Structure formats: structure tokens, C-alpha cells
């Protein structure tokens, strides 16, 4: 029965994590942008979308690298889509009409090209105190998608050429929002960055699995660990269950905090353009970090110093966060606030994940099957991580279903 139970656990974990790996795009940006420029008696702006997003939203077949010659035949389709999926009006109810002007292409290093669909709002005689904005782009096709509203220029608020401060974040559940044009929006922008940090942890499956690899052994201690009290119950397969919740919980929080410190450092270095690494290399190392963290659960690599693993690989995860945000949220006058807010959001997201998983693991830590959960769960994590590693190093998509006979 013991062998059968372990096999059942293995198959369950394998299927669960592989299902996530197949359906979740680790570290996908999933963002489009709405920029606004607020003048004394007029409002202008632009939508920014990638080819991937336009293909998904409108059924087009655009390549990742774009030129105006490629975009030109599809402009009417795109304009109609954006007009139907957005709306601007004053708080008095006065509607404004979107009038598109000449679009441009924004080419970003190591990222997909963005097309900038510039527009002006007709009907604005006096800029209102509040602007009601509907943004419902791509949410019906991709519930994970987020629309970021950025006030690029507003002399009244002292904002000039800002590309770092997000005023609103649109989601499928929150497509209609009010933008205040009379009050400073520094706090709103900071809160938006915090939310964005939380969101990117939750959609970044590779980061989540790295946390899972670190947290699996957090409710037990190895027999040979010198800091294990002798009063603990008999070890099973070399593991002692911890006796108290609080010390174990704060131990894993300490490890995750070192992870946050590390990725904060490299995220800042990337934002300041001091160090930039190729995205394929960063993403490959992130995948490899999951495999090593999981291997550490089976055979210790650095006994009693898991924080070193978290810190070392956290440096590369920071470059991964930088590649997700690209040049959108980490430049300009508000870079420090953007970095602080985003990193705070990441830490909050990580702590929430720990708070959901850790109590469950603590409750089952004394069960005879828990060593098998650690062992076979780590094996599954290693498999997924190496699968991603191969894909990212060689730039290919593996048909895992074929290899498994599915």
C-alpha cells in the first residue's frame, strides 16, 4: 500500500503542476497601455498594443516585428475595435469622440514591438475635473490581461513626459473607472504599482514554483540539521516535523525576504540600465533555479542555508521582472516610487502565497506520507523546470503531450 500511495501522490502532483505548466505562460507581460496627455483645453493620447495582443483580439496574423507597411492594411479594423472597446466622457456626462491620427511603431530591445495608435478627443472645450474612462480591450479573450492607464503629460499636476506612474489598472472586473484630473495622483500611481507587483507574482508560474520548492520542507527539519531540538518526534525518512508554527513560519518568511532583497537589487540595476542580460538567458536560469531548489529538498546542496539559494537565484528573478515591465514602468521621474511599489507588491504577493500554503503543510507535516510529498513533489518540480529550461535555452516549444502519450 505504501508504494501504491506514493505512486498516487506522484501522479497527482505531476498532473497538477504539468496542467499548470501547459496552461500558464510563465512570466507573460499580458499588458496593453492607454496613455493620456492633458492640455489646458484638449486631451490627446494613444493606445499601445503588441502584435500578439492584436492577433488575439481581432483574429489578425501579424508578425512580432512590425512596420507601418504591415499595419496599414489593418488600420480600419483596429480603429473600429478600439472605438468599440473604449469610451471617454466628462463627469457631467458629456461624451468625447476618439479621432485617430497617424500611428507609429515602438521597437523595444528584447521585446515585441508595440504599435502606438495616437488619438485626440473631440468635444473637449474645458478639461473636466473627472474623466470617465471605459477600457475593455482583450478581456474577453484573455482574463489575465491588464490595461494600464498612464498620464504622460498634465501641466496642472506637474507631470511631464511621465512613463512610470500608472494611474489606473483595468481588469475584466473593473473596466469602467474615474480618473481625477484635479488632484495629484502620486499615491494612486504608487498603489497601482503595488497591485501590479502582486499580480505579476500571481501570473508568474515560474516564480510561484520556486516559492513552492522553498516552502515544501519548511515544516520539517533534516535529521542532520544541527539546530533541530532533540525533543522532536522520531524522524521519518530523515525528516523531523517541526513542533511550533511560529518559528517555522518566520523562517520561511526570512528566506523569501532574502529572495525579495535580491530581485530588488537586480530590478533596480536593470531599470538604471547598469546591467542588462538577454531575456532568454535570464528566463533559462530562472527555470534552472526551480530545479536546483527542488533538488536541494532531495539532496542538500547548502545545509541550513536555504536563504543563500533564495538570494542567489533571486538576483536572476529580478532581471526577469525587469524584462516583464520592460521600459514601461521603470523609467522617468517616478522610477524610485515605481521600483518601491512594484517590489512591495511582489513581497505582498509572495507572503499571501505562503499564508495559503504553509498552514496546510503544517497540518499534514506529521503524516507518514509527508516525506513522499517532499520527495515526489520536488521530482515533479525538477521535471517542469528542466522542461522550461530546454524550451528557453533553445527557443522551442516542446509537445509534452506527445512524449507522455497523451
Same structural domain, 42 and 20: no
Cα dist from 119 to 23, 86, 104, 300, 302, whole Å: 36, 12, 11, 58, 57
Q: Is residue 198 part of a domain?
A: no
Non-local CB neighbours of 87 within 8 Å, separated by 6+ positions: 95, 132, 133, 134
Q: How confident is the model at residue 174 (pLDDT cuts 50, 70, 90)?
A: very high
The Cα 269–Cα 255 span in angstroms is 22
The Cα 175–Cα 374 span in angstroms is 42
Q: Is residue 351 part of a domain?
A: yes
Share of the chain above pLDDT 90, in %: 36
The Cα 172–Cα 313 span in angstroms is 33
The Cα 272–Cα 268 span in angstroms is 6
DSSP state of 236: B
Residue 57: the pLDDT is 95
Query: For residue range 279-328, what is the model confidence (pLDDT) as tens digits?
Result: 788 889 889 999 999 999 888 877 767 888 889 888 888 887 776 555 44
Same structural domain, 173 and 42: yes
* 169 SS3 class: strand
Boundary-marking domain end, from 125, 153, 184: 184
DSSP state of 179: E
Helix, strand, coil distribution of the chain in percent, nearest 5: 50, 20, 30
Mean pLDDT of 58-87: 94
The DSSP annotation for 240-275 comes to EE-S-HHHHHHHHHHHHHHHHHHHHHHHHHHHTTS-
Mean pLDDT of 262-278: 83
Same structural domain, 174 and 229: no
Q: How many domains does the chain have?
A: 2
The Cα 239–Cα 259 span in angstroms is 25
Name the region of 386 (left: φ>0; alpha: ψ -120 to 50; beta: rest): alpha
Same structural domain, 279 and 357: yes
Same structural domain, 106 and 177: yes
Mean pLDDT of 167-175: 91
Residue 399: the pLDDT is 65
Same structural domain, 220 and 241: yes
Q: How confident is the model at residue 43 (pLDDT cuts 50, 70, 90)?
A: very high
Q: Is residue 380 part of a domain?
A: yes
Same structural domain, 96 and 146: yes
The Cα 51–Cα 49 span in angstroms is 7
Query: For residue range 370-387, what is the model confidence (pLDDT) as tens digits?
Result: 888 899 999 999 999 999
Higher pLDDT, residue 330 or 397: 397
Q: How confident is the model at residue 339 (pLDDT cuts 50, 70, 90)?
A: confident
Same structural domain, 254 and 310: yes
Q: Is residue 155 part of a domain?
A: yes
Q: Is residue 332 part of a domain?
A: yes
Mean pLDDT of 77-105: 94
* Mean pLDDT value across the chain: 80
Q: Locate 189 and state its grid cell.
A: 500611481
Same structural domain, 263 and 158: no
* 212 SS3 class: helix
Same structural domain, 399 and 369: yes
Whether the per-residue pLDDT at 112 is higher than 50: the answer is yes
The Cα 278–Cα 287 span in angstroms is 15
Same structural domain, 8 and 36: no
Q: How confident is the model at residue 29 (pLDDT cuts 50, 70, 90)?
A: low
Boundary-marking domain end, from 154, 184, 214: 184
Range in 112-116, 327-331, 352-356 with the lowest mean pLDDT: 327-331
Give me the residue label for grid cell 485626440.
Answer: 120
Name the range with the highest mean pLDDT among 15-24, 27-36, 103-112, 319-328. 103-112
Whether the per-residue pLDDT at 360 is higher than 50: the answer is yes
Residue 362: how many other CB atoms lie within 10 Å: 18
Whether the per-residue pLDDT at 110 is higher than 80: the answer is no
Non-local CB neighbours of 347 within 8 Å, separated by 6+ positions: 197, 256, 257, 260
Whether the per-residue pLDDT at 26 is higher than 80: the answer is no
Residue 381: the pLDDT is 93
Residue 85: the pLDDT is 96
Q: How confident is the model at residue 333 (pLDDT cuts 50, 70, 90)?
A: very low
Non-local CB neighbours of 171 within 8 Å, separated by 6+ positions: 139, 146, 147
Whether the per-residue pLDDT at 228 is higher than 50: the answer is no
Same structural domain, 322 and 396: yes
Q: Is residue 199 part of a domain?
A: no
Residue 172: which domain range?
Answer: 31-184
Amino acid at each position: 500500500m505504501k508504494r501504491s500511495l506514493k505512486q498516487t501522490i506522484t501522479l497527482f502532483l505531476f498532473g497538477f503542476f504539468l496542467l499548470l505548466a501547459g496552461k500558464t505562460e510563465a512570466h507573460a507581460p499580458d499588458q496593453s497601455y492607454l496613455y493620456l496627455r492633458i492640455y489646458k483645453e484638449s486631451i490627446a493620447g494613444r493606445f499601445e498594443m503588441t502584435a500578439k495582443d492584436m492577433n488575439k483580439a481581432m483574429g489578425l496574423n501579424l508578425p512580432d516585428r512590425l512596420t507601418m507597411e504591415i499595419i496599414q492594411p489593418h488600420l480600419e479594423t483596429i480603429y473600429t475595435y478600439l472605438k468599440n472597446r473604449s469610451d471617454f466622457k466628462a463627469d457631467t456626462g458629456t461624451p468625447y469622440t476618439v479621432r485617430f491620427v497617424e500611428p507609429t511603431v515602438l521597437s523595444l530591445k528584447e521585446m515585441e514591438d508595440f504599435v502606438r495608435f495616437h488619438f485626440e478627443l473631440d468635444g473637449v472645450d474645458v478639461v473636466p475635473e473627472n474623466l470617465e474612462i471605459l477600457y475593455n480591450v482583450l478581456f474577453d479573450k484573455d482574463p489575465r490581461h491588464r490595461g494600464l492607464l498612464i498620464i504622460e503629460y498634465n501641466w496642472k499636476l506637474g507631470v511631464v513626459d511621465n512613463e512610470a506612474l500608472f494611474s489606473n489598472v483595468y481588469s475584466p472586473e473593473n473596466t469602467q473607472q474615474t480618473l481625477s484630473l484635479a488632484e495629484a495622483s502620486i499615491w494612486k500611481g504608487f498603489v497601482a504599482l503595488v497591485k501590479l507587483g502582486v499580480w505579476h507574482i500571481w501570473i508568474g508560474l515560474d516564480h510561484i514554483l520556486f516559492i513552492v520548492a522553498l516552502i515544501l520542507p519548511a515544516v520539517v527539519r533534516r535529521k542532520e540539521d544541527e539546530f533541530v531540538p532533540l525533543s522532536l518526534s522520531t524522524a521519518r525518512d530523515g525528516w523531523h516535523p517541526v513542533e511550533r508554527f511560529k518559528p517555522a513560519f518566520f523562517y520561511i518568511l526570512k528566506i523569501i525576504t532574502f529572495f525579495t532583497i535580491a530581485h530588488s537589487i537586480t530590478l533596480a540595476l536593470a531599470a538604471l540600465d547598469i546591467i542588462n542580460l538577454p531575456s532568454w538567458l535570464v528566463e533559462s536560469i530562472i527555470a534552472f533555479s526551480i530545479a536546483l531548489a527542488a533538488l536541494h529538498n532531495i539532496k542538500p546542496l547548502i545545509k541550513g542555508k536555504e536563504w543563500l539559494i533564495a538570494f542567489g537565484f533571486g538576483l536572476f528573478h529580478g532581471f526577469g521582472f525587469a524584462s516583464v515591465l520592460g521600459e514601461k514602468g521603470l523609467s522617468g521621474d517616478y522610477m524610485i516610487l515605481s521600483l518601491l511599489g512594484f517590489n512591495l507588491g511582489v513581497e505582498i504577493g509572495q507572503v499571501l502565497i505562503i499564508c495559503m500554503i504553509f498552514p496546510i503543510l503544517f497540518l499534514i507535516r506529521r503524516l507518514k506520507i509527508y516525506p513522499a510529498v517532499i520527495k515526489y513533489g520536488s521530482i515533479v518540480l525538477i521535471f517542469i523546470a528542466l522542461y522550461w529550461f530546454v524550451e528557453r535555452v533553445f527557443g522551442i516549444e516542446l509537445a509534452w503531450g506527445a512524449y507522455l502519450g497523451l
